[in-house]
Amino acid sequence: MGKLRKTIQRGVLDTLDQSSFTAEDFNVQFGDPDEDELIISIIFIHDDSFSFTLGKNVYGLGHEIIRSPGKINETEHVYKTFDTGLDLISEWCHEVRSELKASKPIYKEVDELRDLINEHLKSSVSDTDEFSVEEINNLRRSFEELKSRVERLEQDKIITEKQLQEFRSGINEVDEEIDFYPKKTWLKTASNKLVKIVALIGKSQEGRKMLADGARKLIGLE
């Protein structure tokens, strides 16, 4: 069979990006079944007990897929066609998310934060196809205010300097994309990215408490 085409590899990475995570949250490898390697191996880098592998085609059964977590059990083995196997990656990402939410309370706060950010972004722009100058200025003013609030968290030792630097880098990226993305595309990608950026604050015990108690205030809704 040989290695997968670049377009299929890109499709796998795009599937991960379209989940609640990003492709950078996973260690993804594409092997060569002719060399007895897995065709696709995906490991969640924050917890390597979460993995998804798609092996070579077993005659009469299909491609062997091993996923942890499974739909019901911690680990499941199934045999599917190649295309169906690819479709299961999105479902697996959802199960990973569910397991994290069940074991780590911060994910409940992150979900609530996602709703708040979506609410904030939608209320900041109109339904037109393009941004107006006023909308761009208002969004960028909001980003600057958010950066100022997060900088104060670093000054108060609630987050680390490294977390602040990662936060600034992420906010700057979302800000720059306003100039290049169509409005609807930007809104879809920005909310997901902003959630991940703000969730960086929750890496410490103090940050988790702050997210739980003051997420609305942090993003300027109070």
Give per-residue pLDDT as tens, 82-92: 999 999 999 99
Which residue did the predictor score with more confidence, 166 or 114?
166
Q: Which residue has the higher pLDDT, 163 or 118?
A: 163
Q: What is the pLDDT of residue 84?
A: 94
Report CA-CA distances (Å) from 76 to 18, 80, 86: 23, 13, 16
In this model, does residue 117 exceed pLDDT 80? no
What tokens does 30 get?
């594409």
Q: What is the mean pLDDT of the chain?
A: 82
Tens digit of each residue's pLDDT (9 = 90 or more) over 37-76:
899 999 998 888 999 999 988 888 899 999 999 988 999 9
Res 29: pLDDT: 94
Read out DSSP for 10-32?
Answer: HHHHHHHHTSSS-GGGEEEEE--
The alpha-carbon radius of gyration of the chain (Å, integer) is 20
Give 219's DSSP letter. T
Q: At 14, is the pLDDT very low, low, confident or very high (cuts 50, 70, 90)?
A: very high
Token pair 């680990």: residue: 75
Q: Count CA atoms within 13 Å of residue 214 on its CB side.
A: 12
Do the beta carbons of residue 144 and residue 170 sit within 8 Å? no
Q: pTM for the whole thing? A: 0.53
Rounded Cα–Cα distance for residues 106 and 199 (Å):
9
Rounded average pLDDT over 10-31 = 91
Question: Residue 46 in 3-state DSSP?
Answer: coil
Handedness of CA 138, 19, 102, 100 (dihedral sign): negative
Residue 199 has pLDDT above 60, yes or no: yes
Mean pLDDT of 175-203: 79
Q: What is the pLDDT at residue 214?
A: 54
